[in-house]
Structure 1
Amino acid sequence: MRVVIAEDLLLLREGLKLVLAELDCEVTAAVGDPDALLQELERERPDLAIVDIRLPPTFRDEGLRAALEARRRWPGLPVLILSQYIEQAYVRELLEDAGGGIGYLLKDRVGDVEQFLAALRTVAAGGTVLDPEVMRGVLARADALNSDALNDLTPREREALELMARGRSNAAIAAEMVVTERAVSKYINRIFGKLGLDPSDDTHRRVEAVLRYLGSRS
């Protein structure tokens, strides 16, 4: 897997390069600002971009803006966003691009090599990954903003939704919940029904289900 990194802190950037090398990924470029990121993406056309949300000059959301611009220029480019904090407004903006190949992880997850590799593979393959802590925050906020809809979901449906938002396939969800894939399909279809999502592309509906939980469509 060919990867471009955008991280302004040298130590973190070099650390990411070492971790990715251990995972047999080729880091084709590692840069520290959004303009350089877009230049390297144009030059390298990698399989995946790993981008820190906060990049120079203001260290607010330049990395996210560059990632969204990259997705505009190269539709479907897989992007894994890294952040030190849970920033739900940014999660929603990122997920509104329903083309797949999107991830949002807290930087602490990089130390869990197996989990990090799973996230890389999922995003590179066009899936969607949300950090477990981000998902818990989403659910908590949804409890306050959309309690009626949440009350319609059973605990098992909520569990399936959380795993779905973390990029798990139906088979992986079945394994973690210790049920059959057929049961998982039923859970997911009930989630879609309760959230009022009409039959359409399943990838889009999975992302839309998470967006509904972000609670800002009202």
Structure 2
Amino acid sequence: MARNGRAGGETHAPGNDSARTNRITVLLADDNLIVREGVRALLSHVADISVVGVAADHDELVRAASELRPAVVVTDIRMPPDFTDEGVRAAQRIRLANPATGIVLLSQYDEPDYAIRLLRDGLSGYAYLLKERVADPDLLARAIREVAGGGSVLDPAIVTAVMAPVREAGTLTPDQEELLRDVAHGQPVAAIAARHGDTPAAVNSAIDALLLRLAQGASAGQAGALRRLRMLHEALMKREEQDAALA
């Protein structure tokens, strides 16, 4: 059962409190009691977010999500019993049972490939943040709101890690760098097109052409960055195709 702390306590099911009706309900998962309670305390000061429960391991997280049906789950990636990818596996089970649940994954590692692989299936409603970001309630709250609305978020440090090798090439115009930054931030092609007064097809073609040109003669580091950008672009396109099919 979901708990207020490791030793147990009162739980709140979404919708039981009229004051919580318009809040985004959140379930927190981390094996560290201090981290759990620290994040809960920080989010308690955010007017539109309500923490309805906590969990300490994979099984407890899955069970609590089934009982409480939160709008968003915020979970560490590495938890008991094996401290590998329990948070990711739990998130996948939760999303399978309730596809509308937003997921914010917290990691101590800024490995771009790992973060981007989480988005490759094209599903919306995922965020990947470095665990140190939990000390910034504004950033965490923005990520929670984004995934609650079906959006996706990559930690700014991940975006920097992806973009840095491309910038080092010194071959991008300001417009080209903005286009690639949009992709690195996970911006939908339709949104990019609307902002620039262009068509999604034209933007997609521009991204494909730019990635192809940059890939020619790229160094190993630049090639890796371009591969990650290509993965993100493919995930974005797949997500938009899924959205269009559901419309």
- Between the aligned residues of both structures, percent identity stands at 37
Q: Which residue in the other structure is 2:152 paired with?
A: 128
Q: CA deviation at 1:67?
A: 1.1
- Tell me, yes or no, if structure 1 residue 27 matches structure 2 residue 51: yes
Q: Which residue in the other structure is 1:42 paired with?
A: 66
Whole-angstrom CA distance in 2 between matches of 1:85 and 1:143? 22
Whole-angstrom CA distance in 1 between matches of 2:233 and 2:83? 30
Q: What do the CA deviations read for 1:171-207 (whole angstroms, capped 9, x no partner)?
A: x98xxxxxx92268789542256459xxxxxxxxx98
Q: What do the CA deviations read for 1:106-150 (whole angstroms, capped 9, x no partner)?
A: 122222232222222111111110001112223357789xx9xx9
Contact 2:183/2:233, CA 8 A, preserved across alignment? no
Q: How does 1:81-100 map to 2 (within 5 A)?
A: 81-100=105-124
Q: More deviation in 102-111 or 186-195?
A: 186-195
Aligned AA (1:119): A
Whole-angstrom CA distance in 2 between matches of 1:143 and 1:60? 33
- Tell me, yes or no, if structure 1 residue 80 matches structure 2 residue 104: yes
Q: Aligned match of 1:159 in 170, 174, 178?
A: 178
Q: Which residue in the other structure is 2:233 paired with?
A: 209
Q: What is the count of residue pairs matched by the alignment? A: 193
Unaligned residue ranges in structure 1 (runs of 5+): 174-179, 197-205, 213-218
Contact 1:54/1:83, CA 8 A, preserved across alignment? yes
What TM-score comes out, normalization by structure 2 length? 0.65
Q: How does 1:49-198 map to 2 (within 5 A)?
A: 49-140=73-164, 154-163=173-182, 165-166=184-185, 181-182=195-196, 188-189=203-204, 190-191=206-207, 194=210
Q: Give the superposed CA RMSD.
A: 3.5
What TM-score comes out, normalization by structure 1 length? 0.72
Question: Which entry has the higher C-alpha Rg, 1 or 2?
Answer: 2
Unaligned residue ranges in structure 2 (runs of 5+): 1-23, 213-229, 237-247
Whole-angstrom CA distance in 2 between matches of 1:75 and 1:19? 27
Residues 185 and 133 of structure 1: CA distance in aligned 2, closer, same or farther (over 3 Å):
farther
Whole-angstrom CA distance in 2 between matches of 1:131 and 1:98? 17
Q: More deviation in 107-116 or 27-36?
A: 107-116
Whole-angstrom CA distance in 2 between matches of 1:210 and 1:115? 26
